[in-house]
Amino acid sequence: MNTILSVTLLALAIQLPAAESAKVTGTILTPKTVKAYGGLELEIRLYEFHPFIADKPADLVGKFNVKKYAHKAGDETKTKFIVGDASTIKPGMSYYITCFVLDAKGKRQLMGEKDGKRGLCKVLTGGNPKKVTLILRDLRK
């Protein structure tokens, strides 16, 4: 009996693929043309959502923060990040990341956009990348 159970469990372990990591890596780029800032917080979030259920909110999977984030006008600022490395991709789910630079009150000052293009930054599934470059756009007036 124990032998049959052991063989069955071993067969299942061989057939099931290892869960794929939900790790997303990338670079945050603040262009030279962006006005200087300092003492802000960089926040990157990885979310998971079901692509066919519209009324269910996305779930937070991972978060990356840098306190006292700063940039000097005239220079290009690059920051590497890793988010979601403690999670795995769930079958049938989709993923996206958000990137904001926030002031002390949580107000968005800058926003990261994949390759500088507006729109949702989808990652990991459906042919979307695991590595992205997010270019910060100034939201300050």
Q: Give 3-state DSSP helix, strand, coil % of the chain, rounded to 5.
A: 10, 50, 40
Structure-derived torsion over alpha carbons of residues 93, 97, 102, 105, reported in degrees to the nearest 10:
0
pLDDT of residue 12: 44
Question: What is the model's pTM?
Answer: 0.82
Please name the amino acid found at residue 128. Answer: N
pLDDT of residue 65: 96
The CATH number given to 19-138 is 2.60.40
Q: How far is CA 141 from the centre of its chain?
A: 27
Of 85, 99, 98, nearest to 22 (Cα)?
Answer: 85
What does the alpha-carbon distance between residue 50 and residue 58 come to, in Å, rounded to a whole number?
A: 8
Of 78, 69, 63, nearest to 24 (Cα)?
Answer: 63
pLDDT of residue 64: 96
Of 139, 54, 132, nearest to 97 (Cα)?
Answer: 132
pLDDT of residue 19: 76
pLDDT of residue 69: 95
Query: Average pLDDT per run of 10 along the chain, which is 141 residues long?
Result: 51 56 95 94 96 92 96 95 92 95 95 91 94 94 77
Structure tokens at 95: 């993923």
pLDDT of residue 54: 87
Asked if residue 121 lies in contact with residue 134, where contact means CB atoms within 8 angstroms, the answer is: yes
Q: Hey, where are the domains in the chain? A: 19-138
